[in-house]
Amino acid sequence: MRRIDLIVVHCSATREDRPFTEQDLETAHRLRGFDGIGYHFYVRRNGDIKSTRLVERVGAHMRGHNANSIGICYEGGLDCHGVAKDTRTEWQRHSLRVLVRALKMDYPEARVVGHRDLSPDVNGNGEVEPMEWTKECPCFEVKEERW
């Protein structure tokens, strides 16, 4: 088994008023040249947790961090106009919490971060600030969640 020190939360960057199934996600990732879905888990709006890649397999979700991380993606992240927004339903919030807690039991040393939290610290002050984000994903503050 590989060493896991990060659990990275993502959004699918899809609109809250349109479904985006795991099959849609797989098609999108294959069109980008991936060998299947790059995330290990996908959380649908109804709270269903889909296992989309074996945890033992290196992910394709966070350049520079795939070898030592687990990727979780939730369906949504954009409002009905295509603007970044925390669109998580109550079911998704619950399922994300349950999933992250279960993963932390297996990987207690792993830090839980959002995709944007791994953006480069351009000004070198030791903190990745909103102006430095390469993406807004996952469209909420992961560090403020009670995992």
Question: Which CATH number does the domain housing residue 54 bear?
Answer: 3.40.80.10
The DSSP code for 97 is H
User: Residue 92: pLDDT above 80?
Assistant: yes
State mean pLDDT over 38-51.
Answer: 98
8: phi then psi, degrees, rounded to nearest 5:
-105, 125
3 confidence band (pLDDT: 50, 70, 90): very high
Model-level pTM? 0.95
In a domain, 20, yes or no: yes
More confident residue, 12 or 122: 12
User: Residue 1: pLDDT above 80?
Assistant: no
Predicted confidence at residue 126, as pLDDT, reads 87
Number of domains in the chain: 1
Q: Which two tokens stand for residue 74?
A: 């939730």
- Alpha helix ranges (H) inside the chain: 22-31, 90-106
What percent of the chain stands above pLDDT 70? 100
Predicted confidence at residue 129, as pLDDT, reads 87
Q: Which two tokens stand for residue 114?
A: 């959002």
| Domain range enclosing 25 | 6-144
In a domain, 1, yes or no: no
Is residue 100 a contact partner of residue 108, using CB atoms and an 8 Å limit? no
Predicted confidence at residue 117, as pLDDT, reads 93
Q: Would you give the end-to-end CA distance of the chain in angstroms?
A: 24
User: Residue 131: pLDDT above 90?
Assistant: no
In a domain, 102, yes or no: yes
State mean pLDDT over 87-99.
Answer: 98
In a domain, 53, yes or no: yes
pLDDT digits (tens, 9 = 90+) for 63-79: 999 999 999 999 999 99
The candidate with the shortest Cα–Cα distance to 58, out of 85, 40, 72, 33, is: 40
User: Residue 127: pLDDT above 90?
Assistant: no
Q: Which two tokens stand for residue 32?
A: 């980008």
